[in-house]
Amino acid sequence: MTTRVAVVGGGPGGVMLAYLLARARISVTLLETHRDFDRDFRGDSLHPYTLELLDSLGLAEDLLRLDHVAARYFRFHTPTGTVTTADYGKVRSPFPYVALMPQARFLAFLAERASRFDDFELRTDAKVVDLLTARSEDHQATERWPADRRVRGVRYRSADGEHDLAADLVIAADGRFSRLRRIADLPVRSLGATTDLLWFRLPRQPDDPPEADTDLYFGSGNYVGLLGAPTSWQVGYSLPKGGYRALRADGVQPIKDFLHRHVGWLGDRIELLENFNQTTLLSVDISRVDRWHRPGLLLIGDAAHVISPVGGNGILMAIQDAVAAANRLIPAMRTGQLDSADLVAIQAAREPAIRQVQAQQVRVERRAATARQAGRPLIPTRPLKVITAIPGMRARAATANAYGPYPPRLEVG
């Protein structure tokens, strides 16, 4: 079996890049470990950049017919007051909001639209177990990568056995625990997250606050983040990095007490949280690899750089990786001149934005850790109110988050 490009991983970056390649009539096979996209993701945020990109592809109108929540504000609630830090309604965009849509629904939509192209193939229940290389017969995952080794495809396991898929290029979009990154001996470097998040869902009611869809509620040492959905709330409860065992030993009551104190409008629904089986621990990470590529292999999205969920930038960064990759790969593959210089150029195009976003997130993490250790409020409400009251500041903050630094524009048809 052969393809021009094998994309490993059906997350936002992988599906988007596969769509763009197939649209450009470049043969692409998308390999997804699971049987379908119907599972619970933590990231559900589609920023104005992403919606504008989809609009340019003729997809936004149909996508937005699916159930979603349009979030206009990003707000901090503290014991001394509420601060609106970003107002997406002031972003100069046809889509002046963040669309909150279950990621599984977005991915399934995009994959279905990609399937309308003759050059796209989706293989689900396909677990990639190795890279095919020029020296595949003596390859061991633990050896260092020889300079003369080139990736030639992937080996994957499905219900009917193991299969080899030859490809001119392999895209590793297989997430923060990327198997392909490990096989290719591309070590990841942690930059220092200090927080973990415990996620669970509570029902949404018609009389809930209409603008709470991306709000953060701060206590003395913890905070809760909300992500709105049409029928539910995703609730993320923060805890110090490595603090899950102690939290679990105390049971869910301290979490419920925090919600009663700081997000009291959730009311009796808080009591629906009965045990830790209803929760999912997200170990927050901020990390990246120094090199995103090997000959014949390119890492994108979380496989190349893990973004903290605070700010909801993970999907945005992965989508922008896909756009930058498409801008370079499509012309090169059309002419048959793809080489390692193109992979180097893709990393060079995206790395400044990733470094800037991660540096900001590391600063936030360190400030929060220092405040937590000193027993100070995690958010200094008074100076934040002064800053956000400056004319245009909320619009600038929203615009910065809506597009990220150095947003790439799709340059290929």
**Burial class of 126 by CB neighbour count within 10 A (0 to 12, 13 to 18, 19+):** buried
Looking at residue 407, its pLDDT comes to 97
Looking at residue 139, its pLDDT comes to 47
Q: What CA–CA distance (Å, rounded) separates 343 from 333?
A: 12
Reported as a single tens digit per residue, the pLDDT across 11-32 is 999 999 999 999 999 999 999 9
Looking at residue 141, its pLDDT comes to 45
CATH number, span 2-41+104-191+285-371: 3.50.50.60
Reported as a single tens digit per residue, the pLDDT across 302-315 is 999 999 887 778 99
**Burial class of 125 by CB neighbour count within 10 A (0 to 12, 13 to 18, 19+):** middle
**Which tokens is 96 given?**
């002046």
**Which tokens is 304 given?**
């190349």
Range with top average pLDDT, 145-149, 169-173, 364-368: 169-173
Specify the higher pLDDT residue, 376 or 238: 238
Looking at residue 179, its pLDDT comes to 96
Q: What CA–CA distance (Å, rounded) separates 88 from 158?
A: 44
At residue 259, does pLDDT exceed 90? yes
Q: Which ranges in the chain are annotated with CATH 3.50.50.60? A: 2-41+104-191+285-371
CA-closest candidate to residue 47, choices 337, 373, 320, 250: 320
Looking at residue 138, its pLDDT comes to 47
Q: What is the pTM of this model?
A: 0.94
Q: Which ranges in the chain are annotated with CATH 3.30.9.10? A: 195-240+243-282
224 near 263, Cβ under 8 Å? yes
Q: What CATH number matches the domain at 195-240+243-282, 3.40.50.1220, 1.10.3720.10, 3.30.9.10, 3.40.190.10?
A: 3.30.9.10
Looking at residue 42, its pLDDT comes to 63
State the pLDDT confidence band at 401, using cuts at 50, 70 and 90. Answer: very high
Specify the higher pLDDT residue, 38 or 187: 187
238 near 224, Cβ under 8 Å? yes
Q: What CA–CA distance (Å, rounded) separates 120 from 351?
A: 28
At residue 136, does pLDDT exceed 50? no
Question: What share of the chain in percent tops pLDDT 70?
Answer: 96
Average pLDDT over the chain reads 92
Helix, strand, or coil here: 137? helix
Q: What CA–CA distance (Å, rounded) separates 378 from 229?
A: 27
Measure the CA angle with vertex 261, ends 255 and 263; round to 5°.
80
